Amino acid sequence: MCGIAGIIANNARNYQEEIQKMTDSMMHRGPDSSHYEFYDNAALGHRRLSIIDLSDNGKQPMFSYTKKECIVLNGEIYGYQDIKKNYAEYPYHGGSDTEVILAMYQRKQENLIHDLPGMFAFALWDDEKQELFCARDRFGEKPFYYAIGNNNEFIFASEIKAILASGLIAPKVNTDALSHYLQYGYVSSYQSIYSNIFTLPPAHQLIWKEGKVTVTRYYSLPAKDRVLSLSDAKEEFMYLLKNAVKKQLIADVEVGSFLSGGLDSSSIVALVDEFLPQQTTISFGYDHKDSELKFAKEIADKYNTNHREVHEQKGDLAESLLKISPYLDEPFADTSYLPHYEICKNARKSLTVALSGDVGDELFGGYHFYTVENKLKNHFSYKNIIARFGLKLYQKARQTSFVTQQNLKFASILDFHLNFVRNDFSKEERNRLGLMSDYKQDYSFTPDPDSLNDIMRVDLEHYVPGNMMVKSDRMAMANSLEVRTPFLDLDFAEFCIQLPEHLKVTDDNDKIILREAMGPYWTETIRKRHKQGFGMSVKSWFSEDNIMKLSDDLLKNKDQKIFNYIDFNAAQKFLVHDNKHWNLLQLALWAHNNQSVL
């Protein structure tokens, strides 16, 4: 896990100062060392967090044995030892997973990407071809940003702040991305908050050659569901998940686990127990009646882990926001980034790598709204013109159920999902704020508007890389911690994506396949649990004086940078201590953090 950076330009050795500024800005991503390598037309930089092959043999930028190629990699290639055996002809210099990509490139060139598992963002310079080959992993676990500089330089890095640190570009705010942020609380993984700084989307590769940039998709989610019995599904589920966990435990440092006490993290901890004699588990909890700490302790006791609890510190919340939010580089409204930072900070005291139970909800159907959407689809009025007409007349006289109301309001469960679930500002509200654009992200498949599985696929390509993986990467890397996500192992994730809906969600239950397969590994209390959010309510935070002072400073002053992009008077009407207010506060905080470049 590291930070990568590069500048492709004529006389690249003249950019030594710029490449150093770029890597220095990402010191948190790789505190162990910093290195640079130069060709005539390529400058590559790297910040290292040592995980595999801690010796100098694992340092980057890394040359191939011919010295004609050089790579910088951020991430981990799971199962790289087995891949290495298939490329035994390559004269390896060390034992790192990075060198395996160089070996694959010698034989397959850019086609290596189809056989490369793991979480990664990398750039490989081929000096003979005068070509840069870049790629990002399938689910967007690792970031990759790029831009064209003032003198036509091609600039890339793991974080936006590194591109800005180069001084080679003056950023311009992207109003499409602003609108998307206000709607969902995060920037799409197909955009950045700046119109002239780009993100390489998940599952895409990029080739720079002779000043031309070509971006193409190399992977699409499996679009068809399988037909599978519960017993067969359980057997395959367990085999693939155990294999995923085993592969992600490979490191030359200790690997621990986050443990919330929910079904997903409890499952990871239970399976790690089969491969390690002792494991460290870390839990974060708020000191209130709904704290999950007691559930986490049950699992920790069952598996006799070296368990550590991180308790909420009653500090200055505004001060925490000002300290932590700059790591995000873009506006980000997910309230759980604050506790996520704290658990990563405490994990780093004894660990360099931690496993996470993230993305289980999207793969197994764990969110409450999936159950609601299942009820919407099964309701007698769903897409029934006659029933809908009658209910519209009926509800003028009588109160109808939530399911009925939503069926009348939205054309399909996909329409409901995209325009109601996790939405802050509606299109009309964004228009009032002065943002008329309505950006819609592309997908690798054509969603069936009536398919619950396709809604989960949409979340895997929209919410997971845009929100969840951003939070995981930035908060972990802010603390020089590597976080791995076993549920996103390619073989396991593809299996879960294709499971039939009834093995995930019914009107009465969620995560059916996980409960059936992993139930015996949990305690009785855990078996009865359903999804619980990670974090306190926004309303309780707005009751704190320091947050209200920060809000007033940033949102009630017309001279704040945020009001270069949204209407001041319209914004005042949304400051009512709810999610919309929090969304605007985070946008204002981003503008404040970046006022020197805006």
Rounded Cα–Cα distance for residues 572 and 465 (Å): 31
Helix axes 293-302, 263-272, angle to 10 degrees: 20
Could you tell me which residues are beta bridge partners of residue 197? 147
Q: Look at the block and give the residue holding tokens 């590194």.
A: 162
Contacts of 489 (CB under 8 A, 6+ apart): 78, 117, 240, 243, 244, 247, 248
Contacts of 18 (CB under 8 A, 6+ apart): 7, 43, 166, 167, 168
325: left (phi over 0), alpha (psi -120 to 50) or beta: alpha
Residue 400 structure tokens: 């109808």
Could you tell me which residues are beta bridge partners of residue 154? 8, 148
Three-class SS state of 339: helix
Q: How far is CA 279 from the centre of its chain?
A: 25
Q: Look at the block and give the residue holding tokens 């003032």.
A: 150
Residue 15 structure tokens: 């950019």
264 belongs to an annotated ligand binding site: no
Rounded-to-5 percentages of helix, strand, coil across the chain: 45, 15, 40
Query: Which helix (H) or strand (E) element contains residue 310?
Result: strand 306-311
Burial class (CB in 10 A: 0-12, 13-18, 19+), 231: exposed
Rounded Cα–Cα distance for residues 47 and 24 (Å): 8
DSSP 468: I
The answer, yes or no, to whether the previous bond of 520 is cis (omega within 30 of 0) is no
Q: What is the CA radius of gyration of the chain?
A: 24
Could you tell me which residues are beta bridge partners of residue 212? 209
357 belongs to an annotated ligand binding site: yes
Alpha-carbon distances, residue 374 vs 100, 365, 382, 384, 533 (angstroms):
44, 10, 11, 16, 21
Rounded Cα–Cα distance for residues 73 and 178 (Å): 30
Which amino acid, residue 254? E
Is residue 134 part of the annotated active site? The answer reads no
Burial class (CB in 10 A: 0-12, 13-18, 19+), 50: buried
6 belongs to an annotated ligand binding site: no
Burial class (CB in 10 A: 0-12, 13-18, 19+), 459: buried
Annotated active-site residue in 2, 134, 344, 496? 2
Alpha-carbon distances, residue 50 vs 33, 47, 63, 145, 563 (angstroms):
9, 10, 18, 23, 43
Are 406 and 420 in contact by the 8 Å Cβ rule? The answer is yes
Annotated binding site: 97, 356-357
Annotated binding site for ATP: 356-357
Active-site positions?
2
